[in-house]
Amino acid sequence: MAANKGPLHQFEISSIYDIKFKGLDLSFTNSSLSMVLAIIIASIIFHIGSRKNGELPNKLQVLVEMSYEFIANMVRDNVGKGGKIFFPFIFSLFLFILFGNVLGMVPYNFTYTSHIIVTFALAGFIFIAVTIIGLVKHGINFLKFFVPSGVPISLLPILIPIEIISYFVRPISLSLRLFANMMAGHTMLKVFASFIVLLGILGGWAPLLLVIILTGFEIMIAVLQAYVFTILCCLYLNDALNLHH
């Protein structure tokens, strides 16, 4: 019954198909299922949308072209020189997070971005990749990144540790931001939805109205957070590719 399940029950992972490999638990879970679903749906939409169809573009094609243009502009404006080769990665990253967030709003579907391990894996990969790109491109000069320009030398012993810690904070804040937004939003929705049941037909209308507003708000947050994650990824790439402050 739904009544004895708390607001955090929606984040529980359950195995669908058990796979054990050398003592590792590689089971196909509901999280994996929703990831696969998101990728399949995104692929289908983009396959149909990018097909040649007639003289006038239909709605799907416009949607596909708009999202392409949106990310292409983002990469051009924020990554700048030498950012073009990263476009496929950033575009897939954006779609993966966007579909995870938006499909998570569908009832009974699992929101994989509400798990910190998923977002941390994405952010950690980006962090390591950006560091390697910076080191390969600039060599030892990349360490100049930690020395802020235009600062008196006497302040440097304080500022360099701050810059270094603030660099290592990046993957944590990047992953925590997406995770916290998604988890907080979904928990809030569930809590207010349970108020409807508790207050019954007499008093349940007020939380129902609130839940409707919150659902719209949550969809907006879902899109916004996908955007924030990708734009921060672009900014970090820009830092690594074009060293300046």
Partner 1 sequence: MDKKEKFKYKLHQAIENRKIKKEKKIPHSKIGIDYSIAINITIELITGMALGFFLGIMLDNYLQTKPLMLIIFIILGIIVGFYNMYKTLKRYGYFN
Residue ranges binding partner 1 (CB under 8 A): 161-162, 165-166, 168-169, 172-173, 176-177, 180-181, 217, 220-221, 224-225, 228, 235
DSSP 115: S
CB of 151 to partner 1, least distance (A): 13
CB of 220 to partner 1, least distance (A): 5
Number of Cα atoms under 13 Å in the Cβ half of residue 20: 2
Run of H or E including 21: strand 20-21
Q: Choose between 35 and 221: whose C-beta lies nearer to partner 1.
A: 221
Q: State the angle between helix axes of 87-103 and 205-241 in degrees (0 to 180), rounded to the nearest 10.
A: 170
CB of 89 to partner 1, least distance (A): 22
Structure tokens that stand for 166 in this block: 């603030």
Cα gap 137→145, rounded to integer Å: 13
Number of Cα atoms under 13 Å in the Cβ half of residue 158: 5
Q: Choose between 196 and 226: whose C-beta lies nearer to partner 1.
A: 226
CB of 165 to partner 1, least distance (A): 5
Q: Choose between 108 and 168: whose C-beta lies nearer to partner 1.
A: 168
Q: Choose between 26 and 224: whose C-beta lies nearer to partner 1.
A: 224
- Mapped onto helix, strand or coil, the DSSP state of residue 13 is coil
CB of 36 to partner 1, least distance (A): 29
Q: Choose between 10 and 181: whose C-beta lies nearer to partner 1.
A: 181
Cα gap 217→185, rounded to integer Å: 9
